[in-house]
C-alpha cells in the first residue's frame, strides 16, 4: 500500500495557521500595532478602509528592519522576541510566536516598507498569498509601514463569514482602544475611509481614558492604587451611579497587555456588591503588574487569556483594593453617623465653663390639697385655680335605676370583618375581574378551553415593537417637547452610531436640538418614553447597533424598533393594576403576530382543562 501521509506545502500550512491568528480585520490591526509597539515606536498611525476589508495599514516611527530581517519576518516561527523555551516565562514584549506576519501574508496582499535610522534607504516587499512578488530598495521614513489589502482574497468562504462594516469596525475600534489604553505614553491616531476617528496624544492613563471615552468620563473615575509583594494594582473604576447596562468599559491589563478574565471580573462585581442597580455593570480600567514568571500567556492564539499561578490571592487583593478605594472616596457607605451641626459649640461659648443647673423641689406639694401656694424660688406668687376634687372623676359611674350595668346590645366593634361563603356561587366576581397577575411576572386569563398565561415583559415588547415599526414606516409620530433639553454625553464612535439612525429616531418622536463634540441635546421625546429613560434607551440602541443584534440582513428600522421596545417594555417584577392587565392583554391580541416577541420568544402559553384535570389524577 502506498504511503498516504505527506507534508503540507508552506502556503497551505500558513492558511491553516491564519485561521487561528487572523479571524477578522481586527486581528490584523492588533498584530500590526503590537509589532509597532515592540519596535519602540512613539507615534503610531492606523489607516482603515471599508472596516479593514479593503485596507489595514499601520505606520510607525520605530526602529525599522534591515533587508534580511524584512524578508525573514514573513517566515513561519521567525521572531526576535524569544530564543529559548525559558523565554516564554519572562516575556515583556507583545508578539513572540512568529506567526502573525506569515499568516497575514498567506491570506492577503501585503506591502511592507521599512528603514532603520542609520540607513539612507529602506526596503519594500510586496507579497500576495505567501508568494513574494517584488523586493526592491525604496525611499521611506525611518520606521515601518505595513499595508494589508484585500483580506481573505484567496479564501472566499472566510470572507463571506465576515459581518457588516459596522460590526467589523466596532471590533477594530475595540482593539485600538485596548492597545491605546495599555500604552498611554505613545501617540496614536486612527483614520477610517479618509476621515479622522481618533487623535490621541501622548499622556497619562487618566487623560488617555478621557480622550477616548469623552470629557464627561473624568468625573466618573475613582482612582485605585495598591502595591503588594504579589500584585500591583493601579487604574480607575467608575462610580456606581454611572454604571451602564453594557460591558463596553471594562478593561484588565496585565503587564500592559489586555486580557479577559471572568474570575477577576467577579472580584470587581463583588467589590461593588450592593452599590449597583440590577442589570448594570461597573466600569473599570485596571492595570495589574505581576512577575512574568507567575503567568502563562501562551495558552491562546489571540493572547487575551492568561493563566495565573495563584488566582485566589489576586482575587482577594483586587477585591480589597477596589473596595478600599470606593470607601476612601466616600463612594461606598461606611459605618459612620452624620454630624449634626446643631450640636456644635458656638465660638463665643467655646472657652466658657459649663454651669450646673440648680433644681429646687417643693417637697410639701400635695396634689390633692386645694389651697394657694407660693413658690420660694420665684419672686412672684400665683394662685392656683381650684381644681375639681379627685372624687369627681367617678361621678356618673353609678348604676342608674333599673338599667343593667352592661348593655351588650349597644356595644359595637370598630370594624366587622365580612367573610363570604367560599362555596357560594358568586357570578359577580367573575365579571369584575377577568385577569390576574402572578408573581408580578405573568398575567393569567381564562379562555374557553382552559387558561392563558402571558409573559408581561415579552408581550409588551411585541406591542411596542409593532407601534414603533408603524411610526417609523409611515413617518408619522407624536413628540412631547421637554421644558429643558436632555444632555446625553457620548464618545465619538457612539455619536456616529446615533447619526446613522438619526432620521429613523426622529420618525419615532425624538427631536435632536443640536449635536456637539461630546454630547447631544434632545428637546423632544416620543409620548411613550419617560424623560428619565432617554439615556438608557440610547445606550441600549448604541450597543445593539455596534454588536448588530439582530444581524446584518435586518434593516436599521427593524433594529431600532426592537432596541427601543426592549428598553421600554414592562419589566418582570412590576406590579400592574387590573385595568393595565386587561389593556395589555387586549393590545397583545390586536397585534399582527401576538404569538412571539420581536426576538421570536413565546409571549404566552395555554393550559387546557384536560391538562389541569390530569394533574389531579
Which of 171, 161, 174, 145 has the alpha carbon at shortest distance from 65? Answer: 145
Q: Residue 309's domain is classified under what CATH number?
A: 3.30.230.10
What's the pLDDT score for residue 470? 82
Do 172 and 218 belong together in one domain? Answer: no
Helix (H) or strand (E) holding 519: strand 519-526
Residues linked to residue 113 through DSSP beta bridges, in sequence order: 124, 145
What cell numbers appear for 238 in the block?
467608575
Angle at the Cα of 418 (from 416 to 422), degrees rounded to 5?
155
- Within a domain: 566: yes
Range(s) of the domain holding residue 53:
10-200
Q: Residue 593's domain is classified under what CATH number?
A: 3.30.1370.100
Distance from C-alpha of 198 to C-alpha of 47, rounded to nearest angstrom: 11
Which of 493, 474, 495, 486 has the alpha carbon at shortest distance from 561? Answer: 474
Residues linked to residue 489 through DSSP beta bridges, in sequence order: 519
Calculate the alpha carbon distances from 128 to 19, 47, 133, 286 in Å. 17, 20, 7, 40
Do 250 and 154 belong together in one domain? Answer: no
446-497: pLDDT as tens digits: 888 888 999 999 999 999 988 888 877 776 677 888 888 888 888 777 887 8
pLDDT beneath 50: ranges in the chain: 336, 373-382, 421-431, 550-553
Q: Residue 189's domain is classified under what CATH number?
A: 3.30.565.10
Residue 598 contacts residue 465 (beta carbons within 8 Å): yes
Q: Report the largest interatomic distance among the alpha carbons of the chain, rounded to a whole angstrom.
A: 136
What Rg, from alpha-carbon coordinates, does the chain have? 37
Name the domain count of the chain. 3
For cell 420618525, what's the residue?
507
Helix (H) or strand (E) holding 221: strand 221-227
Do 112 and 133 belong together in one domain? Answer: yes
Distance from C-alpha of 444 to C-alpha of 601, rounded to nearest angstrom: 18
Do 73 and 172 belong together in one domain? Answer: yes
207-253: pLDDT as tens digits: 999 999 888 888 889 999 999 888 899 999 999 888 887 777 899 99
Distance from C-alpha of 233 to C-alpha of 253, rounded to nearest angstrom: 10
Residues linked to residue 436 through DSSP beta bridges, in sequence order: 444
Helix (H) or strand (E) holding 20: helix 10-21
Domain termination residue (choose one: 280, 300, 328) = 328
Domain termination residue (choose one: 303, 328, 353) = 328
What cell numbers appear for 110 in the block?
501585503
- Within a domain: 237: yes
Contacts with 295 (C-beta within 8 Å, 6 or more apart), sequence order: 254, 255, 306, 307, 308, 309
Neighbours of 297 (CB within 10 A): 20
Angle at the Cα of 525 (from 519 to 529), degrees rounded to 5?
115
What cell numbers appear for 407 in the block?
348593655
Domain termination residue (choose one: 328, 360, 375) = 328
Task: Concatenate the DSSP letters of all residues of 360-393 into one string.
Answer: ---TT--TT--S----TTSSS--PPPPPPPGGGG
What's the pLDDT score for residue 454? 93
Do 229 and 195 belong together in one domain? Answer: no
Distance from C-alpha of 51 to C-alpha of 552, rounded to nearest angstrom: 14
Contacts with 365 (C-beta within 8 Å, 6 or more apart), sequence order: 373
What cell numbers appear for 218 in the block?
473624568
Task: Concatenate the DSSP letters of all residues of 420-442 into one string.
Answer: --TTS--HHHHHH--EEEETTTE
Do 101 and 228 belong together in one domain? Answer: no
- Within a domain: 16: yes
Residue 446 contacts residue 452 (beta carbons within 8 Å): yes
Amino acid at each position: 500500500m502506498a504511503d498516504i501521509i505527506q507534508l503540507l506545502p508552506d502556503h497551505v500550512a500558513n492558511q491553516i495557521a491564519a485561521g487561528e491568528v487572523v479571524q477578522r480585520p481586527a486581528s490584523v490591526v492588533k498584530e500590526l500595532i503590537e509589532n509597532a509597539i515592540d519596535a519602540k515606536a512613539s507615534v503610531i498611525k492606523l489607516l482603515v478602509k471599508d472596516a479593514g476589508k479593503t485596507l489595514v495599514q499601520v505606520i510607525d516611527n520605530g526602529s525599522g528592519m534591515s533587508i534580511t530581517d524584512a524578508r525573514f519576518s514573513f517566515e513561519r516561527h521567525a521572531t526576535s522576541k524569544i530564543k529559548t523555551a525559558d523565554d516564554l516565562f519572562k516575556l515583556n514584549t507583545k508578539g513572540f510566536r512568529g506567526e502573525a506576519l506569515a499568516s497575514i501574508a498567506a491570506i492577503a496582499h501585503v506591502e511592507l516598507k521599512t528603514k532603520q535610522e542609520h540607513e539612507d534607504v529602506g526596503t519594500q516587499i510586496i507579497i500576495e498569498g505567501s508568494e513574494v512578488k517584488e523586493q526592491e530598495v525604496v525611499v521611506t521614513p525611518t520606521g515601518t509601514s505595513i499595508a494589508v489589502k484585500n483580506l481573505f482574497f484567496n479564501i472566499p468562504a472566510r470572507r463571506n463569514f465576515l459581518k457588516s462594516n459596522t460590526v467589523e469596525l466596532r471590533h477594530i475600534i475595540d482593539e485600538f482602544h485596548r492597545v491605546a489604553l495599555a500604552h498611554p505614553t505613545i501617540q496614536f491616531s486612527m483614520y477610517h475611509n479618509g476621515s479622522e476617528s481618533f487623535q490621541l496624544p501622548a499622556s497619562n492613563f487618566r487623560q488617555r481614558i478621557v480622550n477616548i471615552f469623552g470629557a464627561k468620563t473624568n468625573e466618573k473615575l475613582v482612582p485605585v492604587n495598591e502595591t503588594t509583594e504579589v500584585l500591583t494594582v493601579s487604574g480607575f473604576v467608575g462610580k456606581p451611579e454611572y454604571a451602564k447596562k453594557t460591558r463596553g468599559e471594562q478593561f484588565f491589563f496585565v503587564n500592559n497587555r489586555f486580557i479577559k478574565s471572568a474570575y477577576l471580573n467577579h472580584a470587581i462585581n463583588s467589590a461593588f456588591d450592593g452599590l449597583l442597580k440590577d442589570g448594570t455593570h461597573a466600569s473599570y480600567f485596571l492595570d495589574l503588574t505581576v512577575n512574568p514568571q507567575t503567568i502563562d500567556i501562551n495558552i491562546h492564539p489571540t493572547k487575551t487569556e492568561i493563566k495565573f499561578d495563584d488566582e485566589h490571592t489576586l482575587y482577594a487583593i483586587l477585591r480589597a483594593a477596589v473596595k478600599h478605594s470606593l470607601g476612601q472616596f466616600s463612594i461606598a457607605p461606611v459605618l459612620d453617623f452624620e454630624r449634626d451641626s446643631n450640636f456644635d459649640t458656638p465660638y463665643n461659648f467655646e472657652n466658657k465653663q459649663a454651669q450646673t443647673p440648680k433644681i429646687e423641689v417643693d417637697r410639701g406639694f400635695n396634689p390633692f390639697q386645694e389651697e394657694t401656694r407660693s413658690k420660694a424660688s420665684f419672686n412672684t406668687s400665683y394662685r392656683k385655680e381650684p381644681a375639681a376634687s379627685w372624687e369627681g372623676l367617678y361621678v356618673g359611674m353609678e348604676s342608674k335605676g333599673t338599667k343593667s350595668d352592661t348593655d351588650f346590645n349597644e356595644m359595637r366593634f370598630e370594624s366587622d370583618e365580612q367573610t363570604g361563603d367560599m362555596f357560594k356561587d358568586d357570578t359577580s366576581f367573575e365579571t369584575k375581574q377577568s385577569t390576574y397577575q402572578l408573581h408580578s411576572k405573568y398575567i393569567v386569563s381564562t379562555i374557553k378551553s382552559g387558561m392563558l398565561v402571558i409573559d408581561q415583559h415579552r408581550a409588551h415588547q411585541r406591542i411596542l415593537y409593532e407601534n414603533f415599526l408603524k411610526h417609523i414606516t409611515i413617518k408619522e409620530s407624536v413628540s412631547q417637547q421637554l421644558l429643558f433639553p436632555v444632555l446625553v454625553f457620548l464618545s465619538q464612535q457612539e455619536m456616529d452610531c446615533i447619526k446613522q439612525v438619526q432620521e429613523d429616531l426622529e420618525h419615532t418622536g425624538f427631536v435632536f436640538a443640536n449635536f456637539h463634540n461630546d454630547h447631544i441635546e434632545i428637546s423632544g421625546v416620543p409620548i411613550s418614553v419617560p424623560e428619565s429613560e432617554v439615556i438608557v434607551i440610547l445606550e441600549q440602541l448604541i450597543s445593539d447597533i455596534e454588536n448588530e443584534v439582530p444581524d446584518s440582513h435586518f434593516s436599521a428600522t427593524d433594529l431600532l424598533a426592537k432596541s427601543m421596545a426592549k428598553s421600554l417594555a414592562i419589566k418582570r417584577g412590576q406590579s400592574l393594576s387590573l385595568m393595565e392587565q386587561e389593556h395589555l392583554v387586549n393590545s397583545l391580541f390586536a397585534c399582527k403576530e401576538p404569538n412571539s416577541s420581536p426576538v421570536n420568544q413565546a409571549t404566552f402559553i395555554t393550559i387546557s382543562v384536560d391538562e389541569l384535570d390530569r394533574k389531579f389524577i
